[in-house]
Chain A
């Protein structure tokens, strides 16, 4: 493997007005292996929603990096996370995506586990002539090192030596609050799991969620559809929630949104979305204003594209999408996506939200596949190493400043850095957060 130093990959010199990222970050398979080990398998990653494992004996399987894990709720309602691997020979004890089971019987030799992870049977144990050493070993499922929940969002770490979850989420957790506060009962995922792949590095997805520069370039085909629908409203066509907002339209007048950079690699791109009937949440607007005040309620309607580094995104714009990013290879990424909704919303609001979601967020819709295509175009170009440094992390360098701003104060948010501006500003400094978070975790191997 080529020996990299951190500064070969991330050129972070604020004093010179320079922030650059090397193409190798996206195209080197050896670096990818290091990322799996030192980012995904050594720190907090998002696992799923508590509402997906709501009842006793519910379970959900996923991966932390390359490692299969299983979330299980026991008889008493305690939720835990284990390696999804039998201590005997290593077979996954559950191969389903999700379900409800009191007992998990390994398909290979029938070792059996309760939903608390306890071993209930080693088949033919007495007759097995095991030695003393075997009896001294723990035959239960192996719990992951750290497991935590923040307002229904579940996170885990294979490494015990990490900060507490709240500290890891930092101020970014208040963006989760804006979603979780929308219903007294919390959030749930709409049944229907949509997955897709793109042939590009996972960090293309991390960045694109915050990329306000691409919309009018990558999605003009969608914009034309939205414009036509706004002109010729008809009953069979669902109105887009984007029509009423200016943050994406490419104007150069007035503040339409901005970005916040948080500690530990998290970032938010946001835009003003005036509360209006094309937003499913609008039915609760008066109640939300009453409960939270006008400014905080308005924030619940704003476009908010949140990335919790490294693998979770909550995109609130054309509808509400929860994304899990699963890197497969340096040039292949799998996405698992869900429509996230406040519990208890009306049937009409649910219908509107789902229709808006399908058209925009599905790989079978009119937006996401275009994003996938441009990631793939980048992946082709990123193999070119003759000019290693990309020029894609520099917009907003003279607009960013330390700390919060008036908009942050509305929700008591204390970001590390803030940017506000017109639609044409299209800040890229928030990407720097990702690479600083990246560098923080990779520092142990790339001096």
Chain B
């Protein structure tokens, strides 16, 4: 089989964004491999992101898809005051570049901005930064084995959940 192409890479990260925006969370979860790394480092100071997630704090750090399932279940439970009315979110993903495509693996770098509108409070918020997606081919499909979110604006207004990053 051929290595990961830029078109396939784009297709995968764009699909992920679209599924989140359409709140198709089951389909979103299907994009990830079982032992996915889902990681959003914190900032240690004005200029440095946290590194080793076992020694330094992250905003989100999960190894394993069941953690993402927990997050999705909570978002849709109707029992979370901040999520009872889910924000309307649009992801814009640009500057997609393919790196290190070899065999059944490839790394994809991109930039993102999410705009969120909270019907609960009429608040608008936006978050932006860079993504690093590690893709692997499983049964002919490209799946996400690694999603790292380097969040630029880390002063979080009220909430920032997995649906808006």
* A positions within 8 Å CB-CB of B: 96-99, 190-199, 218, 220-222, 224-225, 228-229, 234-237, 334, 339, 347, 350-351, 354-355, 357-358, 362-366, 369-370, 372-374, 376-377
Contacts and interface: CB of A to CB of B under 8 A. Distances in A.
Interface string B41-63: 11111100010011111111111
Contact of A225 (B41, B55, B56, B74): B74
In the complex, which range does the number of interface residues on chain B fall in?
A: 35 or more
Contacts, number: 143
A340 to B, nearest CB: 11
A199 B53 CA distance: 30
A191 B158 contact: no
12 contacts: A191-B57, A192-B41, A194-B59, A218-B81, A221-B74, A221-B77, A236-B63, A237-B64, A354-B56, A358-B59, A364-B59, A366-B71
A339 B57 CA distance: 8
Contacts of A193: 42-45
Nearest to A368: B159
Given A228-B70, A334-B155, 8 more contacts: A191-B57, A192-B44, A194-B59, A221-B83, A225-B74, A357-B57, A363-B160, A372-B158
A350 B44 contact: no
Nearest to A60: B45
Contacts of B59: 194, 358, 362, 364
A224 B60 contact: no
A220 B121 CA distance: 22
B66 A236 contact: yes
A370 B82 CA distance: 5
B60 A365 contact: yes
Nearest to B159: A369
B161 interface: yes
Interface string B114-144: 0000001101000000000000000000000
Contacts of B158: 196-199, 363, 369, 372-373, 376
B1 interface: no
A192 B43 contact: yes
A194 B57 contact: yes
A192 B53 CA distance: 10
Nearest to B162: A364
Interface of B: 35, 40-46, 50, 53-67, 70-71, 73-74, 77, 79-83, 120-121, 123, 154-161, 165
A366 B82 CA distance: 10
Contacts of A377: 81
Contact of A237 (B66, B120, B161): B66
Given A358-B61, A370-B80, A99 B45 contact: yes
Q: In the complex, which of the residues B64, B79, B83 has the most CB atoms of chain A within 10 Å of its own CB atom? A: B79
A192 B155 contact: no
Contacts of B60: 358, 362, 364-365
A234 B66 CA distance: 9
A191 B62 CA distance: 18
Contacts of B66: 234, 236-237
B45 A96 contact: yes
Contact of B74 (A198, A218, A347, A366): A366
B54 A350 contact: yes
A197 B155 contact: yes
Nearest 5 CB-CB pairings of A with B: A236-B64, A192-B57, A373-B82, A369-B159, A221-B80
A325 to B, nearest CB: 15
Contact of A372 (B63, B70, B159, B165): B159
Contacts of A218: 81
A226 to B, nearest CB: 9
A231 B95 CA distance: 43
Contacts of A365: 60
Contacts of A370: 80-83
Contacts of B46: 96-97
A364 B42 CA distance: 11
Q: In the complex, which of the residues B65, B70, B158 has the most CB atoms of chain A within 10 Å of its own CB atom? A: B158
